[in-house]
Structure formats: C-alpha cells, structure tokens
A and B are shown apart, each in its own frame.
Chain A
Amino acid sequence: MAKVEDSELAYTRDLPGAVRSNPNYFDNEVIDHLIGIVLELGAQSWVIKDRLAFLEELLAKQGSVSLDDLEQGRPSEELQAKLQTERQAMIQKIYGRLYSSYGGDTADPLSAPMS
C-alpha cells in the first residue's frame, strides 16, 4: 500500500501531536486539573437537572414512569428547547467569567479587569 518511502516520513514521528500527549497550559498543573474538574462537574450536574426535568414531564403526562422511559426516551421538543435555553444560560453564568479579562462575548460585566 505504501507508495512513499518510510525514510521520507521518518520526520513525522517527531512532529508535535504525532503522539498524543497531555499538555498542561499553566505553570501550576493543578490549575489545569481544576478547570477540567469544574467543567466535568458542570456537565454531571446538568445531566441530573436534565433527568429531573424529563422525569417531571413524564410524570405530569403519564402519572407513572419506568426506568426504560427515562433512559430510552427523549423529552418533548418543547422541553428540549427549554432545556437548551437553560443549559446555555447555565454555561454562560458559570463559565463566562473565565474570559472576563479580555471582554469576550461571555464576559462578566461585574468582573474587575485584569491588571
């Protein structure tokens, strides 16, 4: 299959990204871990919020609910639209402040500028 000599491609092994690594962006890698942890916690708390909202919708419609309904079903289109709005507001509210110092779209207006 190979039509290009291996020797011509030897350099590729040393290119950044040729081997997956786990780069840290901050001098203190704990900050890298904390950002990852905070994003994951947000995602996990959203899963619970979504499930609760779906459960309430099913109960209101059906009066009872099975595990299969909850796991295999999907909220109504109306609820999905509402959840999307809530989810985006939550992301903006919690994480928007990360970018406050440069005045990006999600900047928190009450945040102090970076000195």
Chain B
Amino acid sequence: MSVEQAIYPRGKMAGVFPTLTNRSDEAYVEFIDDARKILIHAQQEPIGAYSRGLIEKSELSNEDNGPDTTQDAVELLMQDSVLKTYYRVKRSLQEAFWSGLKDSLDERRAEILAALDETDQAGPGTLEYDPNWADSVPEYADCEIHLQPGGNMSEALAGLYYDYGLKVFLGGAADNDQLAKFIAMGAAMPDDGKVERILDLGVGPGSSSTALKERHPDAEVWGIDLGAPMVRYAHLRAIETNADVHFRQMAAEDLDFPDNHFDAALAVLLFHELPIPVAKEVIAEVYRVLRPGGKFTLLDFPGSKTSDLYSMFFAQMDALDNVEPYLPEYRRSNVEDLLVEAGFELEGYDHKAALSKGRVAVKPATA
C-alpha cells in the first residue's frame, strides 16, 4: 500500500488533513464539528457577557483576577445552570470528537504506521528521533493535552490526531494550511534581511515549518518537537509538498544547536503547554541560539495583565476540562516579561493580536 493510500485513502480533507476511514466516521465527526461551532464557539461571546454579568452582581470584581479570586469565580459561576450546561456540552463534544477520530484512524493503524516507517528515511528534508521515544517522555509532558487520546508524546498516531484536531478546533481556519501560511508570512525576520537559518519550535504537524520554507526557500528550516510522533508526521507532511525541512525530536529547553546559529525563531501555541520553569529555559535557549539581531516570534494567548477575571476563570476551567494544566500559570507569567528578563528587546506586542501577530522579541545587536 502506498503512503498516499494509507494516509488519504478517500482523498484529503480540506486540502491537507488525513481522511477518516469511511463515510459514516466522517458524518459523525461532521456532526460533532458543527455542534461545536453552534453550541460552543458561537456561544463564547454571549456566555462571556452572561458570566461577567454574574460576576458583577456578586461580591467579586472583574478587575481582580488573582489566583484566589479566580478560584472564587470558579466556585461562584459553576453553581449556575447555564454554565454547568455549557461546560458539560463542551466536554462531552470534545470527548466524542476524539473518540470518533481515534476509532476511525485505528481501523487502519497498521497501514498508517507502515507509511510513517516508509517515509522516515525519505527526502527531501531529514528526520531524526529517538527510536525508544515512548520511554523518554518527560513527566511534565506526559499528559493528554486537549483530551487527545494518549497525548502528543506517547501515542504513535498523535501527529494525525493532532492535525485533524486543528481542523475541528480552529473552525476551518487551518484548512489548506492557510493559518500556518499566514503565521509564517508574519513571522519577524532580522532587519538586515539575512535569513540563512530559521528555527520552528514545537512544530506539531509541521505546517508552519513548511510554510516558512516556502517563504524563504534558500534558508535552512529546522522544525523541532518534543514528541517523536509529531516530527515523524511533520516529515511525512513536508515530503508531500516537496519541502526540504529538517525535523528533529528535541526539547526546546535543551536545543542541540550552536550559539548564535539562527537568524529567526518561531513558536506557535507552544508556551501555554509548558510549566514556567521549562518556559524560562526555552526562552534562554532561544536567546542563545539566535544571532545578535535575530528575531523570535512567539504566538500564544495574552497574559493576565490584559485579562479580566472571567478570562482567567476560562483558563482555569480549561486546565481541568481540557487538560491544559499549564495554561493558568502561563497566562499569569505574562510571557513578554519573561522575554525581557532573558535579555530580549520586545519589538512589538499588542495583546489583542497575541494569537495572530504574537510577541516579537529581538536579541540585541550588541549581545
């Protein structure tokens, strides 16, 4: 069986995603996808307004978003029937989505694993990972983030699960890799225009890495992820578009690259998945491997300084409901402050564009 037949037996979904095994599986996931759009996404703003109203009527203040007050808000708001229903529906749909996806892809697990084996050594581009990857997952990363079955690190099909998850969770924004291309086009590059090497951290399915290569075809692009299943799938995906990208299983907090090696670095939605001690080490490592004048674009949620109590309540709920254990402390870290503490100069940051333009940090030319 060819790689194409193993991963896309019924053609690609939305241009780039792996196919579900049969039409019934697809219909099931389409229902869950639409239910999420109608019952979760479309409700976010009205539910937010409703919740803020409940906070205003209570003894709490939306302006005070400290950890204790956030816990008080959880206890207050989760007494409310509407919010209980909203979070129950959200959780049940998340579980149903993963269950439908896993059951479908597992039907052809052997064929997909064989396809990954076949492409490991293929080019263009290169791939390196620990063959004993399942035994080397750091404890902090060994959790089922987003409720994804087996998590990103310990499940051999995690790359496919995660990729299809992006299709559903981003409500179509990731279709045809359009979001990855948008992000890659916006990633900051050094003012002197010299771009020979780019580092993409926590790449997941690697679509941002291949988009960076498309933008800078003459540059070396390196994509790293802690999860071996992720870089294996990213490599497979890159080969399809003939993208010459180097994928490595590597901890972002322990980069195996020389000092001053890269001209630019990018991290998309990585930092809220890291405990703060690890996040600080990642920033220190990115600072080390960037050359003076090099730029780091960090896309992730805004911090607590620009968030109200309801936003922090939402993050606290996501920690437990959606296995995002590090999201609350990430938001409280105000990661732009951590970048400055590490020696970066913050070139630009608009918290309203935290997820689209991100924080741009520059390693000073004098460093």
Taking beta carbons and an 8 Å cutoff, which residues of A are in contact with B?
Answer: 1-4, 6, 8-9, 11-13, 15-21, 23, 25-26, 31-32, 35-36, 39-40, 42-44, 46-47, 50-51, 54, 70-75, 84, 87-88, 91-92, 95-96, 98-99, 101-106, 114
Contacts and interface: CB of A to CB of B under 8 A. Distances in A.
Contact of A2 (B34, B89, B251, B321): B251
A43 B10 CA distance: 22
A13 B147 CA distance: 17
A50 B38 contact: no
B42 A106 contact: yes
Interface of B: 9-11, 22-24, 26-28, 30-32, 34-35, 37-39, 42-43, 46-47, 50, 78, 81-82, 84-89, 91-93, 95-96, 100, 136, 138-140, 143-144, 147, 251, 253-254, 275, 277-278, 281, 285, 316, 318-326, 329
Contacts of A104: 42-43, 46-47, 50
Contacts of B329: 15
Given A16-B325, A95-B39, A102-B82, A9 B139 contact: yes
Contacts of A73: 10, 23
B320 A23 contact: yes
A73 B84 CA distance: 39
Given A17-B320, A25-B87, A35-B89, A42 B81 contact: no
A79 to B, nearest CB: 12
Nearest to A103: B46
B138 A2 contact: yes
A46 B92 CA distance: 17
Closest 9 CB pairs of A and B: A50-B27, A17-B325, A71-B22, A3-B254, A15-B325, A17-B319, A16-B320, A36-B92, A104-B46
B139 A1 contact: no
A66 B293 CA distance: 63
B28 A43 contact: yes
Contacts of B140: 9, 12
A1 B138 contact: yes
A47 to B, nearest CB: 5
Contact of B38 (A15, A44, A72, A92): A92
Nearest to B145: A17
Given A3-B281, A12-B275, A106-B38, A51 B24 contact: yes
A101 to B, nearest CB: 6
Most chain A CB within a 10 A radius of its CB, from B88, B143, B275 = B88
Contacts of B275: 4, 9, 11-12
A115 to B, nearest CB: 11
Nearest to B327: A17
Contacts of B23: 50-51, 54, 70-75
Contact of B320 (A9, A11, A21): A21
Contacts of B254: 1-3
A12 B326 contact: yes
Contacts of A75: 23
B35 A32 contact: no
B89 to A, nearest CB: 6
A114 to B, nearest CB: 7
A32 B326 contact: no
A39 B35 contact: yes
Contact of A4 (B10, B11, B93, B253): B253
